[in-house]
């Protein structure tokens, strides 16, 4: 229900010919285009050099839409790049750019392409047979909170007329002086009034402001990895940084590198997940009170009322996108499970960085079942990786193709891989 919701299968049919559909069986690249996959899987690079690619939406005819981050000073940079394979060979030879501004969340819904920017959500009316919209964008939501720190927004739909976006907290742990050593936390945290949560909006109403939306969930730090599944919003959150730097003598570099898990939450109306008061410990699988609120790494006095995650992943891996696999192309174990794109850490120095992968979390009967596995790796191009800027690629988007294959996007140069299962 996330990216293709109710998007008519005939939307891109031109006459009686479906444009953009892949007709040939694509050949995978030697070495899978530089990434490592489980046995039986292979990949080909289907697009490259797109720029800072973020989330991906796929139309039923195979056209692909990629949201682009704007990392420079040109206000017109960013927007969306639309891709089409006109030759049926699996490679996108047609490319169209439209829109502007730093964008992350993207989704196709009822004949519109929705794009989540830092301070707004826009939508474009799509015309059957055309790759690129011809008319102007409509502003569905405006004036959304989105400061420099944690302003990027993901997007998902519930299929019932509403969409959901994250509004990240412009803070590490709601300190009186953000990221200053031994600065105490504000209690209550005023940031949570308009940040640090998930907001729900009417997908068909134009010109909404943040106050017109409903605060669906709270107690979250930064969470562009958001999707609708099983009657709830699933969120993979970026947890806190700098335990050792901000609280020297209380936490070691190793504890900072290992303890604050990247949690996977299942959110319903009113859920509270505990930020900034507590962090979820990866090794011990429980909440601990943050040091900004008097915690010493051993106590949990402020954490009893918060909703725990349904799964947890290693510290600082930086989840940025999530999708549940609904196809039949992959083996049974992957069907119904979640793929999470981990952008990779920066806050593990002096230890090596970690993450930089696409991870799979199995589900059974809509509940996590068993341990996660790293599905796709090798993106940094070197091991160990000490500096994030040295990474060749960083996963930033994941989406399912109509045939059940999988797209993975990279935000370093804008490479797109398509992953197939061939061991049948």
* Residue 11: per-residue pLDDT: 41
Cα distances from 262 to residues 188, 229, 241, 296, in angstroms, run: 23, 19, 11, 20
**Residue 249 confidence (pLDDT) above 50:** yes
> Of 344, 340, 404, 381, nearest to 31 (Cα)?
381
Name the one residue in this structure whose structure tokens are 């006109």.
86
- Cβ atoms within 10 Å of 200's Cβ, excluding its own: 17
Beta bridge partners of 267: 233
> Of 103, 146, 111, nearest to 128 (Cα)?
111
Whether 164 contacts 141, CB under 8 Å? no
Distance between first and last Cα of the chain = 28
Whether 355 contacts 345, CB under 8 Å? yes
List phi, psi (to 5°) of 48.
-155, 160
**pLDDT (tens digit per residue) in 122-181:** 999 999 889 999 999 999 999 999 877 899 999 999 999 999 999 999 999 999 999 999
* Residue 360: per-residue pLDDT: 98
Q: What is the mean pLDDT of the chain?
A: 93
Span of 33-47, 142-156, 210-224 with lowest mean pLDDT: 142-156
Separation of alpha carbons 261 and 228, rounded Å: 22
* Sheet strand arrangement including 222-229: 222-229, 232-238, 262-267, 311-313
Span of 14-28, 234-248, 307-321 with lowest mean pLDDT: 14-28
**Residue 390 confidence (pLDDT) above 70:** yes
pLDDT band at 198 (very low <50, low <70, confident <90, very high): very high
Separation of alpha carbons 174 and 199, rounded Å: 20
* C-alpha 39, offset from chain centre: 26
* Residue 397: per-residue pLDDT: 98
The DSSP annotation for 88-111 comes to SSSS--EEEEE--B-EEEEEEETT
Q: What percent of the chain has pLDDT over 90?
A: 89
**pLDDT (tens digit per residue) in 5-39:** 434 333 433 322 334 444 456 789 999 999 999 99
Separation of alpha carbons 163 and 106, rounded Å: 11
The DSSP annotation for 184-251 comes to PBPSS-GGGGTSSEEEEEETT-SSEEGGGSEEEEE--SEEEEEEEETTEEEEEEE----HHHHSTTTS
Query: What number of CA atoms fall less than 13 Å from residue 153's CA on the CB side?
Result: 34
Cα distances from 361 to residues 134, 226, 364, 373, in angstroms, run: 39, 15, 10, 7
Local structure of 340: helix, strand or coil: strand
* Residue 16: per-residue pLDDT: 27
Separation of alpha carbons 40 and 369, rounded Å: 22
Span of 37-41, 128-132, 260-264, 358-362 with lowest mean pLDDT: 128-132
* Residue 423: per-residue pLDDT: 78
Separation of alpha carbons 31 and 196, rounded Å: 41
Separation of alpha carbons 377 and 391, rounded Å: 12
Separation of alpha carbons 33 and 415, rounded Å: 10
């Amino acid at each position: 229900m996330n990216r293709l919701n109710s998007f008519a299968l005939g939307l891109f049919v031109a006459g009686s010919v479906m444009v953009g559909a892949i007709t040939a069986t694509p050949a995978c690249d030697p070495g899978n285009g530089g990434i490592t996959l489980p046995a039986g899987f292979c990949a080909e690079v289907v697009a490259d050099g797109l720029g800072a690619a973020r989330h991906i939406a796929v139309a039923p005819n195979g056209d692909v839409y990629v949201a682009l981050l704007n990392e420079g000073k040109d206000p017109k940079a960013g927007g969306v790049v639309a891709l089409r394979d006109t030759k049926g060979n699996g490679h996108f030879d047609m490319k169209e750019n439209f829109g502007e501004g730093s964008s992350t969340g993207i989704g196709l819904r009822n004949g519109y392409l929705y794009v989540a920017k830092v301070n707004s959500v826009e939508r474009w009316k799509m015309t059957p047979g055309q790759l690129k919209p011809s008319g102007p964008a409509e502003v569905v939501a405006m004036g959304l909170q989105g400061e420099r720190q944690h302003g990027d927004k993901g997007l998902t739909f519930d299929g019932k007329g509403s969409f959901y976006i994250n509004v990240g907290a412009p803070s590490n742990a709601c300190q009186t002086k953000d990221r200053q050593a031994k600065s105490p936390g504000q209690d209550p945290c005023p940031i949570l009034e308009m940040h640090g949560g998930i907001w729900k909006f009417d997908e068909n109403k134009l010109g909404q402001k943040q106050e017109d939306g409903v605060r669906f969930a709270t107690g979250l730090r930064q969470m562009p990895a958001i999707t609708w599944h099983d009657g709830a919003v699933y969120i993979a959150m970026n947890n806190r940084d700098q335990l050792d730097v901000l609280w020297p003598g209380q936490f070691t570099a190793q504890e900072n590198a290992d303890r604050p898990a990247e949690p996977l939450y299942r959110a319903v109306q009113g859920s509270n997940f505990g930020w900034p008061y507590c962090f979820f410990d990866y090794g011990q699988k429980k909440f601990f009170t943050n040091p900004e609120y008097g915690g010493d790494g051993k106590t949990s006095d402020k954490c009893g009322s918060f909703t725990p995650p349904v799964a947890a992943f290693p510290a600082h891996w930086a989840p940025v996108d999530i999708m549940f696999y609904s196809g039949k192309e992959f083996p049974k174990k992957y069907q119904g499970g979640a793929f999470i794109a981990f952008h990779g850490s920066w806050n593990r120095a002096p230890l090596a960085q970690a993450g930089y992968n696409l991870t799979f979390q199995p589900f059974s009967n809509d509940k996590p079942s068993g341990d996660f596995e790293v599905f796709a790796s090798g993106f940094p191009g070197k091991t160990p990786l000490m500096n994030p800027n040295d990474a060749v690629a960083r996963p930033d988007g994941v989406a399912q193709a109509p045939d059940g294959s999988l797209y993975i996007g990279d935000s370093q140069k804008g490479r797109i891989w398509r992953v197939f299962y061939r061991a049948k």
